[in-house]
Structure 1
Amino acid sequence: MAPHRLLPLAFAFAACAAGAETSPYYLGVAQSLTHDSNLLRTRDGEAPPDGRSRSDTVSNTSLVAGIDQPISRQRLHGSATVSATRYRDNDDFDGTTYALDLGLDWETAGRLSGELSTQAARTLRQDVRTAEGDALSQANYENSRQADFVARLGSVTPLTFELGAGVKAVDYSADSMAFREYRQRHALAGLRWRPGGSTSFGLGVRRTHSEYPHLFAGLLADPEDRRDRDAVDFSIGWAPGGSSSLDLRLSRARTRHEVLDYRDFSATSGALVWKWDPGGRTRMDLRLARDEGQDSEVQTSVFSRTTDSLRLQVQHELTGKVALDARVLLFRRTLRGSPLAIDVAEGRDSGSHVGLGARWQATRGLTLACDASRERRGSNSDARLSSAYHATVLGCSAQLVLQ
C-alpha cells in the first residue's frame, strides 16, 4: 500500500488521542496532496501500460470520526475514515476509499475479560500484478473485512488463560486479481504466567485455515486451494527498567496445502521487539522478525514463504507542538509457487522502505504534516514471482477536528 493512502488514517489516530482528553467523540475533515513517482510500481526499465502515466499527483479529501467511550466496566472505541481520491493523470482511478474499525474491551465482575473487534477497508491497489506478471490496465480496489474475539480468565492473577477466534476476507474488484482473493479463519488457545516483577511467559497453540477460491481459475478443473497452518507459540515479556521493554516470540509451524503439495513446509518464525521510552521527547521502536506466508507486515503474495525484516522507528518532539518521525524497514523474502500452475518457481528478493515525516499541532484541533518516503525492491532470482522497482512518495496533509 502506498504511503499517501495512509496519511488520513495516521491523522485520524492523532485526532482520536487528542479528542480523548476532552470528549469521547471527534469529527473532522482532512485534505492531503501526494506525488508518487511510480504509482503502478512499474518494473525498473519497463514502460507503463499504454495510456498510463508512471507518476501521478493524488488528492485525498477525507471525513474522519471516532469514539472512545467508557461504559461501566467496558470501553467502546472506534474510528472511521472515508476518502474521495482524485488522480491528476490517471483519472479513471478516481474513487472512494474507506477504513473502519470498531472495538469493545469488556470485563465482568469476576475474572473474565477480553476484546471484540471488527475492521473493514477499501483501498486502491494498483501495485499488484496479474498471475501472468502483467501490470493492471484498470482500477483495482482491495476490499477487506476482519473480526476477532479474545476472552481471558484470570487477568488479575499470575496465571491467565486465553481463548480466541477470528475471520478475515479479502476481495479485489479487478477480475484478473481474483487469484489473490482469500478467506481465512483462525482459533487460538494459550496461557500466560506472570511470576512477579517485570517478566511474563506465554505458551499457546493456533490453527489457521485459509481458502483461495480462484487461485487456479482457468488452469485447473477445481480452481480452489485450501491451506492449513498449525503453530505453537512461545513468548517472553521483560521490562528491565521504566524506560524500555523487550518482547520475544518464537513459533514453530507446519503449513499444508490441499492442491500442489510441493508448497508444504515447516518453519520456525519469531520476532524480537524493543521499545524505548525514557519519558522525554524521544521514543524508539525496534523490531527484528521472521514471518511466514502472508502474516508479514511487508506486503506479500500467495506465494510468500518467509520474510525476514528489520524495522526501526524513532519519534522526537522538537517542541510541544512539533514532532518528527523517522522510519526504516529492510526485508528479504523467500517465495515459492507456480503462478501459472505449470512448473515450480522459487526465488528470493529484498527491499527497503525509508521515510521521514514532520507534524505540527497548530491548534488543539488543527494538525499539519508532511512526509517523504523511498520504497525499493530488488530483482528476484525468478522474475515470475516478483520484479525490481523503486518509488518516491512526497505528501502533505492537513486535518481539522471538532471535539
Structure 2
Amino acid sequence: MTFFGIGSRLWATRGAGRPLSILLLSGVSAAALAADPADAFNFYISQSFQHDDNLYRLADGVKPFGDGQRDDNISVTSFSAMFDRVYSRQRLYASVDLAYVAFDNYSDLDYDTKGMTAGWDWSFGSHWTGKLELKQDELARDRSDFRTNSRETSINRRRTLDAEADYWWHPDWAAGVGYEAFASEYSDDASQNLNYEASIPEVSLTYRPQSGNKVSLRARFTDGKYPDRTSSAIRDDGYSQRDLRLVGAWRLTGASRLSGYLGYTSREYENLEVRDFSGMTARLQHDWTITGKVQLRTTARREIGAREDLTDNSVVTKAVSVEPTWAPTAKIALQGLLEWRQRDFRGDPGLVTSVVEQDDETTTCRLSVSYMPLDSLSLSLSHTASSRTSDRAANEYDANVTALSAQYSF
C-alpha cells in the first residue's frame, strides 16, 4: 500500500515542515481530520512534495554560496502515533511524531525530527484537578533568520515539563499553582549562544461557570538563562520577567468564540538595562462560524520572545492574521491565510555604533484546497507566498512554496 501526505508546516513559515501536530496540515481542516474518539490509538502516515523558489530566503539577485541554485524540491515524510483515553476521571494521553525531510539539490540539508508528548489530566475527589505533561519537539531553524553559509540544517529541540494543580473551593471558582521548566537548544555550533532555559512558577484564580466558559487571572514569574552565552556590551546572559495575564475562552454568541490572553509584561535583564521591557502583551483569537459552510478565524498578538519566532528573546513581535475557510461539501474545503507580522529586535543598546538596528515586516499569503475521497485519506494542494522588508537590506526576501500532499490515517 502506498501513502502520500504532508508535515504540518511549510518551509515558507518554519524551515521545511514538521509534524508538530498532524491535525494541522497545510490546507486541511483540523476538524475533518479529527481522530475517532472511540479509538484509544490512532496512526497517521503522510508525505508531501514541495517546491521552494528561495530556499535560503535571500534578497533578490543573491545566490547561495555565490553561484548556487536558489530553488529546491523538498520531500517531507512523517509518521505520527497517538494514544488518548479516559479512565474514570483520569485522562492519559501520549503521542510520537517522526519526520524525514529530503532536498533534491542541497542533500546536505537533509534531516529528521523526533517529537513526543506524554500527559495526565488528573482529578482527585470533588475539589482537586490538574495536569502533568512532558513534551519534546524538534524543528528546523527558520532560514530567514539563520544567516550562514553552512551547508547544514540547524535543528531546534525544545523540552517542556508542565505541572498544574487547582483547588475548587466552589463549583465555579478555583485557586491554582503551576510550574513550567522549559529548555531550548540548537544542533549547530553557530547557534549555541541562543540555547535557553527558563523556570516559570505561576499562581492563578479561575472562574468557570456552568456555561462552559472559562477565565483565569494568572501571575507568572520567569527566570530565564542563556547558559552558553557570555555577557557583553551587546548581549546578556539572563533576565527576570513578571507577567500578569487574564486568560480565557469565552463563547460570545452561539456562532462566535473568543480565546487567548491579555496582560502586562515586565522584563529586566541582568546587565543591559537598556533592553528592559515593560508593556501590554496579548494573544487573542476570534473564531466565527458565519454559516454552516463558512468560518473565519482572526488572531492578533503582541508578545516578547514568542517561542515560535526562534530568535533571541529580546524580540517584540506584533502580528495580525485572518484565516477564512469555506467547505462547499463534506469532502472539499478551501482555506486561506493572510498574516502581517512586525518584529522589533530591540536594536543595539548604543555601545556599538556600527550595528544597525533591525525591524522586520513580513507578509504571508496562503491558499489551499483539500479533498477527502475517503474518511481516512486527505489530499491537498497549497501555495504560500511570503515577503519581508527590513532595516537591513540583506534580510529582505520574497519566497513562494507550492505543496502537493496527502495523509492516511488508521
Report the Cα distance in structure 1 between the residues aligned to 2:151 and 2:281, rounded to whole angstroms. 37
Q: Which residue of 1 aligns with 2:293?
A: 281
Q: Which residue of 2 aligns with 1:393?
A: 401
Report the Cα distance in structure 2 between the residues aligned to 1:78 and 1:319, rounded to whole angstroms. 33
Q: 1:262 aligns with which of 254, 270, 274?
A: 274
Q: How many Å apart are 1:226 and its aligned residue?
A: 0.7
Are the counterparts in 1 of residues 54 and 71 from structure 2 also a CA contact under 8 Å?
yes
Q: Which residue of 2 aligns with 1:159?
A: 173
Q: Which residue of 2 aligns with 1:105?
A: 121
Q: Number of residue pairs matched? A: 393
Report the Cα distance in structure 2 between the residues aligned to 1:341 and 1:225, rounded to whole angstroms. 17
C-alpha change, 1:270 and 1:32, in structure 2 (3 Å) is same
Q: 1:212 aligns with which of 226, 231, 241?
A: 226
Residue 241 of structure 2 corresponds to residue 233 of structure 1: no
Q: Which residue of 1 aligns with 2:155?
A: 141
Report the Cα distance in structure 2 between the residues aligned to 1:284 and 1:264, rounded to whole angstroms. 37
Are the counterparts in 1 of residues 165 and 177 from structure 2 also a CA contact under 8 Å?
yes
CA RMSD of aligned residues (A): 3.1
Residue 130 of structure 2 corresponds to residue 114 of structure 1: yes
Q: How many Å apart are 1:392 and its aligned residue?
A: 0.8
Aligned letter for 1:313?
Answer: E
Q: 1:375 aligns with which of 358, 364, 386?
A: 386
Q: How many Å apart are 1:236 and its aligned residue?
A: 6.1
Q: How many Å apart are 1:196 and its aligned residue?
A: 7.3
CA deviations over 1:51-91 (Å, ceiling 9, x no partner):
74321111122222111211221122233221222110000
User: Which is further off, 365-374 or 13-22?
Assistant: 13-22
Report the Cα distance in structure 1 between the residues aligned to 2:98 and 2:243, rounded to whole angstroms. 37
Of structures 1 and 2, the one scoring higher in RCO (CA 8 A, sep 6+) is 2
Aligned letter for 1:398?
Answer: A
Aligned letter for 2:279?
Answer: A
SS of the residue corresponding to residue 177 of structure 1 reads helix
Q: Which residue of 1 aligns with 2:335?
A: 325
Report the Cα distance in structure 1 between the residues aligned to 2:366 and 2:374, rounded to whole angstroms. 25
Q: Which residue of 1 aligns with 2:108?
A: 92
Aligned letter for 1:318?
Answer: P
Residue 368 of structure 2 corresponds to residue 357 of structure 1: yes
Aligned letter for 2:77?
Answer: T
Which ranges of structure 1 fall in alignment gaps of 5 or more residues? Answer: none
TM-score using structure 2 length = 0.85
Q: Which residue of 2 aligns with 1:335?
A: 345
Are the counterparts in 2 of residues 12 and 65 from structure 1 also a CA contact under 8 Å?
no
Are the counterparts in 2 of residues 128 and 135 from structure 1 also a CA contact under 8 Å?
no
Report the Cα distance in structure 1 between the residues aligned to 2:224 and 2:20, rounded to whole angstroms. 28
Q: How many Å apart are 1:229 and its aligned residue?
A: 0.7
Q: How many Å apart are 1:237 and its aligned residue?
A: 5.1
Q: 1:187 aligns with which of 179, 201, 213?
A: 201
Report the Cα distance in structure 2 between the residues aligned to 1:313 and 1:156, rounded to whole angstroms. 38
C-alpha change, 1:391 and 1:339, in structure 2 (3 Å) is farther
Which ranges of structure 2 fall in alignment gaps of 5 or more residues? Answer: 1-8, 25-29
CA deviations over 1:289-327 (Å, ceiling 9, x no partner):
2112x1265x25216442211111122222111222211
C-alpha change, 1:77 and 1:325, in structure 2 (3 Å) is farther
C-alpha change, 1:109 and 1:194, in structure 2 (3 Å) is closer
Q: How many Å apart are 1:139 and its aligned residue?
A: 2.7
TM-score using structure 1 length = 0.86
Aligned letter for 1:116?
Answer: L
C-alpha change, 1:10 and 1:160, in structure 2 (3 Å) is same
C-alpha change, 1:102 and 1:327, in structure 2 (3 Å) is farther
Q: 1:245 aligns with which of 225, 237, 257?
A: 257
Q: How many Å apart are 1:338 and its aligned residue?
A: 4.4
Q: How many Å apart are 1:337 and its aligned residue?
A: 4.2
Q: How high is the sequence identity, in percent, across the aligned residues?
A: 24
Residue 51 of structure 2 corresponds to residue 35 of structure 1: yes
SS of the residue corresponding to residue 374 of structure 2 reads coil
